[in-house]
Structure 1
């Protein structure tokens, strides 16, 4: 069983508006509302891959109720801490092959909420073999909160994949106990290191050799249509992906985490882990529903993903 953690879930609302106009009325057809937050996208894709998954986090209000209803429809086990405050909406406007996001900040957690969630998290760890943590922290939680979750999973010998950014990521990496894997993009990597990381082998390999990453088994730098650059142990890999018709890129990074988690859980080879992760990310981008993959296309895309070990 894989546990996915989403501390600041949302209802993700997707508005396809081909000709988006500022300071004017924009009418929408085909709007979609899904139980969102990065970790819930991860959970959905894991479920679609036929893997056992349970998800947790913090929810409140009528938005929280909607999220639970949607997860129940998908038959995804969920054990959220319920709070009195309202959860958030996150809007993505899809226009001119671009994506503009409007993200509510969500609730502010109290010290009592934090303690209650940590108790829930500990109880869930007894039945899982891998954990993923995704997304931002709600207000009221310190930047080092994810570090606490990493430490608690480490005590039980459970590998944990962290997909976050900014100070939350830095706090995880400066800790003595490291996550099993992280998945920054180039922008997040540049922000973390305070330098401009270029999308080339020399720049990326030098960046991933920084002391921040010592002890992290896997670093998967997602690069959109350019694939990924990866460090596993002391080895570097370049992953290239086929050109596709991108329908909706929202959630593709989360789908990548899902594929990675499932492949790692099954102890697949480095090549298979990376090809699976990229394949699920690509499949998500080919669909208009966030956090959805058509598994019928898995083998075809998987065979087109190329993994090359880099000799430096």
Structure 2
């Protein structure tokens, strides 16, 4: 079973407007409300692909109840830790070809609630083969909390796919136990290393990924947007090239990439197949209006058209 972790879920609210009028009333009858958060995007895509998945994390208040109900409606298994404070809203206003976002910071999770979640997480590890950790931590959590989850999973020999950034990622990399995979995009890698990279000089990215900081991580997949990806598996490097597609909504494509990899890993796919399925899932998500969804038929079509080449060193 794949367990997905979302430590700061939200209700994602989308308001499409022809024109956003400032300092007056705006009306719309096309409101969309979905269970959001990077980890829940991962969950839905694994579910769409037919994978055995369970969502966990923390949920609170009426918003938390809404999120749980939305997952239940589509038959997604879940085991969240309840918290006292209200889960957050993330608002997107779509107007004149732009997307203006208003993101709440979210709840503060108490020390007792953190302990309760960690105990539940250790129980879920008994049933899991793969864990995905995605996105930010809610307020209250120490910055090394994800490192703690990686360590607990390693003790049970459960593979962790980590998709976070900033200090949370730095703390994970400092840990004695390493995740099985990390998936920074180019901007996140630059932020992590304090170094700029160019798509014209991929050898510089290769050299960066060979640094001692990344030692012990089996897989590093650096997503390059429409340019595909560069990946490191053990000591080998791969260049992944993807075909051009008509993009409808790119939000959640990085989460879908993690979902595709987790699903492929659960199906015991080989190196080339794993790189194809993760990129195919990301592409298929970008073709959907709804964030964190894929059509398995599109995934399979993209899978056939993605090129993976081993980079000779």
Paired residue for 2:260? Answer: 259
Paired residue for 2:37? Answer: 37
1:288 to 1:233, Cα distance in 2 relative to 1, 3 A: same
Paired residue for 2:242? Answer: 241
Paired residue for 1:213? Answer: 214
The whole-number CA distance in structure 2 between the counterparts of 1:34 and 1:55 is 15
Matches within 5 A, 1:5-16: 5-16=5-16
TM-superposed CA distance for 1:29, in Å, is 5.3
TM-superposed CA distance for 1:16, in Å, is 3.7
Residue by residue, what CA displacement relative to the aligned partner does 1:23-75 show, whole Å, maximum 9, x if unpaired? 66554453321101111111111111111110100000111010000000011
The whole-number CA distance in structure 2 between the counterparts of 1:227 and 1:18 is 33
The whole-number CA distance in structure 1 between the counterparts of 2:21 and 2:204 is 39
Paired residue for 2:301? Answer: 300
Paired residue for 1:276? Answer: 277
TM-superposed CA distance for 1:304, in Å, is 1.4
Matches within 5 A, 1:1-312: 1-17=1-17, 20=20, 26-28=26-28, 30-95=30-95, 98-199=98-199, 200-312=201-313
TM-superposed CA distance for 1:306, in Å, is 1.1
1:222 to 1:22, Cα distance in 2 relative to 1, 3 A: farther
The whole-number CA distance in structure 2 between the counterparts of 1:190 and 1:25 is 41
Residue by residue, what CA displacement relative to the aligned partner does 1:118-155 show, whole Å, maximum 9, x if unpaired? 11101111111100000000111111000000000000
3-state SS of 1:246 partner: coil
3-state SS of 2:43 partner: helix
Tell whether the 8 Å contact from 1:110 to 1:140 is kept in structure 2 after alignment. yes
Pairwise CA RMSD of aligned residues? 1.6
3-state SS of 2:141 partner: coil
The whole-number CA distance in structure 2 between the counterparts of 1:20 and 1:278 is 35
Residue by residue, what CA displacement relative to the aligned partner does 1:89-113 show, whole Å, maximum 9, x if unpaired? 1123445655443221111111101
Tell whether the 8 Å contact from 2:283 to 2:299 is kept in structure 1 after alignment. no
Tell whether the 8 Å contact from 1:160 to 1:180 is kept in structure 2 after alignment. yes
TM-superposed CA distance for 1:208, in Å, is 1.0
Which stretch has the larger CA shift, 189-198 or 71-80?
A: 189-198
TM-score by length of 2: 0.95
TM-score by length of 1: 0.95
1:10 to 1:310, Cα distance in 2 relative to 1, 3 A: same
3-state SS of 2:106 partner: coil
Tell whether the 8 Å contact from 1:197 to 1:207 is kept in structure 2 after alignment. no
3-state SS of 1:309 partner: strand
Tell whether the 8 Å contact from 1:147 to 1:175 is kept in structure 2 after alignment. yes
Tell whether the 8 Å contact from 1:42 to 1:254 is kept in structure 2 after alignment. yes
The whole-number CA distance in structure 2 between the counterparts of 1:96 and 1:166 is 32
The whole-number CA distance in structure 2 between the counterparts of 1:206 and 1:68 is 43
1:276 to 1:99, Cα distance in 2 relative to 1, 3 A: farther
1:75 to 1:211, Cα distance in 2 relative to 1, 3 A: same
Tell whether the 8 Å contact from 1:218 to 1:233 is kept in structure 2 after alignment. yes
Gaps of 5+ in 1: none
The whole-number CA distance in structure 2 between the counterparts of 1:183 and 1:160 is 11
